[in-house]
Amino acid sequence: MTKIQNNVKTLTHFIGGEMTEGKSGRTSNIYSPSFGEIIGLCPLASTEEVNEAVEAAHAAFKKWKRISVGKRVQIIHRFRSLLVEKTDQLAEMIGLESGKTIADAKGEIGRGIESVDLALNAPHLLKGEYSVNVGGEINSFSMKQPLGVVAAISPFNFPAMVPLAMTSMAIAVGNAVILKPSEKVPNSALFLSELWKEAGLPDGVWTVINGDKEAVDAILHNPKIHAISFVGSTKVAEYVYHEGTRHNKRVASFGGGKNHMVIMPDANIDQAVTAFLGAAYGAASQRCMAISVAMPVGEKTAEAFVAKLKEKVQELKVGSYNDENADFGAVITQESKDTVIKYIDESLEEGAHLCIDGRHTQSEKGFYLGPTFLDHVTPDMKIYQEEVFGPARIAVRVNTLDEAINLINEHEYGNGVTIFTNNGPAARKFTEEIEVGMVGVNVPIPIPVGYHNFGGLKRSKFGDGHMFGPDTARFFTKTKTISERWPEAKDIGLKTEFSFPSNQ
């Protein structure tokens, strides 16, 4: 997988079933967030390298699409078994290069396996429709076929779950896949490559091409790539969507979120506080579905919630990915840490109240930030308007449920939201009126299981597609509808009809 030079590993791509050294001569540093050290060099592919990889994938696709769906599922089942067997090894790799705790890494692998499980149902999801004698002894039926070469561009915060969610169904329904992982966390993708190889996936059906914007643009522009699934920041998600569709590709592009937790006066405050802690600060808040905003309804609710939350936040422990006592780890880079601190500083200048200050966590090495909590944040503050990818969470106080719904609906993001309440009518009103793609009721992170569709609304998602769930079978296939008639000999040569055909 790697080449050692000056005690630093230089990684590879995975093309045509083989680990392949980069040719561009360009690399980027891979850091361990926990220790602040360079642990490898990631090759950055040129346009030519991407195009060569696509050609290899295209050649493999021609054979893969002819393999029965039953045989494809057998390979996926072996891949799943290997994922379970190698979970500890993969979790260690995820923790080292992303900074998240081992427990969190194992959690994401488990959620990724849900998408693999759904892909095992491809024979059912690929079934078409059949109608007998729709008119004139014509039978009509539909069939679903793979698109060809498809691409997935995945983020740093879920090195395994998101690639598995994006690609498992794409492979199961007969496509060849190009994965471009984040250059910050390439090891996990290469490890998945080894598992696919061991599972018996034909060479070229699975490709990993490492790179930066040049590689992304090459994927967007290559005419032999027919669909793209992307997860990342909203700015880049919008670019990928518009540039990809401009080149006639099917694109599902998932961006950021600003996820609210509404706490009603009748809610169990202890339950809400406990839920908020894990949903807000887990993985150092580097989740697009992390709760960003506590929105207590009424001053009495706000005072009770904030008072209890302050006590609990102060007990959270930040530590290395392999520290079993750590609640969460480091943020991904020093740049990320600096950006989060800047958001905190600016919000204080705008009038927010600092309840817990995590800016000055003591650590000789590593990109650590302690948990920060800010109260009395207002909707005009930047820290409310923008996604903050780090452990700085906020409270925005409101007077009524209607005010909460209106504020959330006015926000540009619509990824996830949740409400804590013991009032059924309030919960029903909330779920019906809220303009957000994934909604929870007394659920801290309303991310669907792998057999339900994932996707936000507004500027949290571009394109008509979902990252996982049954909709992925539709996204990665094309549908043909066939009208078929087998006339008897006596019917051949009847007079030509010029009127529009009907079923009469």
Distance CA 251, CA 243 (A): 9
Q: How far is CA 51 from CA 57, 64, 153, 189, in A?
A: 10, 20, 16, 19
Sign of the C-alpha dihedral computed for residues 275, 283, 397 and 447 taken in this order:
negative
Tokens of 167: 């690609």
Strands in 130-135's sheet, in edge-to-edge order, are 130-135, 138-146, 477-484
E strand or H helix at 102, and its extent?
helix 102-119
Q: Return the active site residues.
A: 288
Structure tokens, 342: 């800047």
Q: Which helix (H) or strand (E) holds 207?
A: strand 206-208
Of 85, 123, 88, 97, the closest CA to residue 39 belongs to: 97
CA–CA separation, 214 and 220 (whole Å) = 10
Give Cα separations from 411 to 252, 295, 396, 460 (angstroms).
21, 14, 13, 11
Find the radius of gyration of the CA atoms of the chain.
25
For 301, the 3-state DSSP assignment is helix
CB 392 within 8 A of CB 344: yes
Residues near 452 by beta carbon (within 8 Å), at least 6 away in sequence? 469, 470
CA distance 83 to 116: 10
Q: What CA–CA distance (Å, rounded) separates 99 from 319?
A: 9
Angle, nearest 10°, between helix axes 401-410 and 424-433?
Answer: 20
| CA 8 – CA 5 distance, rounded (Å) | 5
Tokens of 134: 């729709």
Q: What residues are paired with 479 via a beta bridge?
A: 144
